[in-house]
A and B are shown apart, each in its own frame.
Chain A
Amino acid sequence: MITAQNINLCYDKKTVVWDFDFEVRPGEIVSLIGPNGSGKSTVLKAISRLLKCTCGTVHLDGYDIYKLPTREVAKKLSILSQVHATPPDFTVRELVNYGRVPHQQWYETLNQEDREIVAWAIAQTRLEQFADRTVNSLSGGERQRAWIALALAQRPQVLLLDEPTTFLDICHQIELLDLVKRLNASLGLTVVMVLHDINHAAAYSHRLVVIKDGRKVAEGAPVDVLTPKLLSEVYNVQAEIAYHPKTGKLYFHALGLACAKKELPCNQATA
Chain B
Amino acid sequence: MTTRSEAQPTAAPRSLRVVKKALVLVLALGLLLTAAVVSLRFGSLSFSTAEIWQALFGGEETLAKIIVLDVRLPRMLVALMVGANLALSGALLQAVMRNPLADPGLTGVSTGAALAGVSIMLVFPQWGALVPFAAFIGGAIACGLVFLLAWKRGLDPIRIILAGVAVNAVFGGGTSLLSILYSDRIQGILMWLNGSIAGRSWHHVRLLAPYTAVALVAAMLCIKPANLLQLGDDAARNLGLNVNVARTVLSFIAAFLAGISVSTVGLIGFIGLIIPHVCRLLIGSDYKFMLPLSALLGSLLLITADAAARTVFRPVELPVGIIMAVVGGPFFLYLLRKGGTYRV
Q: A73 near B10 (CB under 8 angstroms)?
A: no
**Which residues of B have CB within 8 Å of A129?**
2
Q: Is A70 interfacial (CB 8 A cutoff)?
A: yes
- Determine if B285 and A90 form an interchain contact, defined as CB atoms under 8 angstroms apart: yes
CB contacts (< 8 Å) of B98 on chain A: these are: 85
CB of A110 to closest CB in B, whole Å = 11
Interchain CB contact under 8 A, A133 and B238: no
B341 with A50: CB separation less than 8 A: no
CB contact between A102 and one of B2, B227, B239, B284 (< 8 Å): that residue:
B239
Number of interface residues of B (CB under 8 A): 33
Asked if residues B240 and A102 are in contact (CB atoms below 8 Å), the reply is: yes
| Given A84-B232, A84-B235, A93-B5 contact (CB < 8 Å) | no
A88 to B242, CA, bound (A): 24
Q: How large is the interface on A (under 10, 10 to 19, 20 to 34, 35 or more residues)?
A: 35 or more
**Pairwise interchain contact A87-B242, C-beta atoms closer than 8 A:** no
Is residue B1 within 8 Å, beta carbon to beta carbon, of the partner chain?
yes
**CB-defined contacts of A99 to chain B, threshold 8 Å:** 239
* A133 touching B11, Cβ below 8 Å: yes
Decide if B285 touches A88 in the complex (CB within 8 Å).
yes
How far is it, in angstroms, between the C-alpha of A132 and the C-alpha of B12 when the chains are bound? 7
For B228, list chain A residues within 8 Å (CB).
98, 101
A184 at the interface (CB under 8 A from B): no
Which one of B1, B10, B11, B238 has the greatest number of beta carbons of chain A within 10 Å? B238
| B231 CB-CB contact with A under 8 Å | yes
**A50 / chain B contacts, CB cutoff of 8 Å:** 234, 237-238
Is A137 interfacial (CB-CB < 8 Å)? yes
**Which B residues touch A138, using CB under 8 A?**
5
Stretch among A28-36, A75-83, A221-229 lining the B interface = A75-83
B239 near A81 with CB under 8 A, answer: no
Which residues on the B side are within 8 Å of A90 (C-beta)?
284-286
Chain A residues closer than 8 Å to B234, beta-carbon distance? 50, 79, 81
Q: Across the interface, do A132 and B11 meet the contact criterion of CB distance under 8 Å?
A: yes
Is A255 interfacial (CB 8 A cutoff)?
no
Most buried by A among B221, B234, B242: B234
- Asked whether, in the complex, the Cβ of B10 is within 8 Å of the Cβ of A133, the reply is yes
A130 touches B240 (CB 8 A): no
Contacts of A121-151 to chain B: CB distance below 8 A? 129-130, 132-134, 137-139, 141-142, 151
Known pairs A106-B224, A137-B8, A138-B5; A101 contacts B232 (CB<8 A): no
CB distance from A71 to the nearest CB of B (A): 4
Contacting residues of chain A (15-55) with chain B, CB-CB under 8 angstroms: 48-50
Interface residues of A in 62-112 (CB under 8 A from B): 69-75, 78-81, 83-91, 93-94, 98-99, 101-102, 106
Taking the complex as formed, is A59 at the interface, i.e. its CB lies under 8 A from any CB of chain B?
A: no
B14 within 8 A of A: yes
How far is A91 from B224 in the complex, measured between Cα atoms in Å?
A: 17
Please give, as numbers and ranges, the residues of chain B lying within 8 Å of A102 by CB-CB distance.
Answer: 239-240
Q: Does A154 sit within 8 A of B, measured CB to CB? A: yes
- Pairwise interchain contact B242-A142, C-beta atoms closer than 8 A: no
Find out whether the CB atom of A83 lies under 8 angstroms from the CB atom of B285: no
**CB-CB nearest in chain B for A106:** B224
Indicate if A171 sits at the interface (CB-CB under 8 A).
yes
Complex-state Cα separation, A83 to B241, whole angstroms:
18
Tell me if B331 is interfacial: C-beta within 8 Å of chain A. Answer: no
A94 — nearest CB in chain B belongs to which residue? B286
Asked if A213 CB lies within 8 Å of chain B CBs, one says no
User: Can you list 13 A-B pairs, Cβ within 8 angstroms, ordered by A?
Assistant: A69-B240, A74-B240, A81-B238, A85-B98, A89-B342, A93-B14, A94-B286, A101-B224, A101-B240, A132-B13, A134-B11, A142-B5, A171-B1
Extra contacts, 10 of them, besides A79-B234, A90-B284 (Cβ < 8 A), are A74-B238, A75-B240, A83-B232, A85-B231, A88-B342, A90-B286, A91-B14, A98-B231, A101-B240, A132-B11
Interface residues, chain A, with chain B CB atoms under 8 Å away: 48-50, 69-75, 78-81, 83-91, 93-94, 98-99, 101-102, 106, 129-130, 132-134, 137-139, 141-142, 151, 154, 171-172, 175
Rank and list the top 3 A-B pairs by shortest CB-CB distance, nearest first.
A74-B240, A71-B240, A87-B285
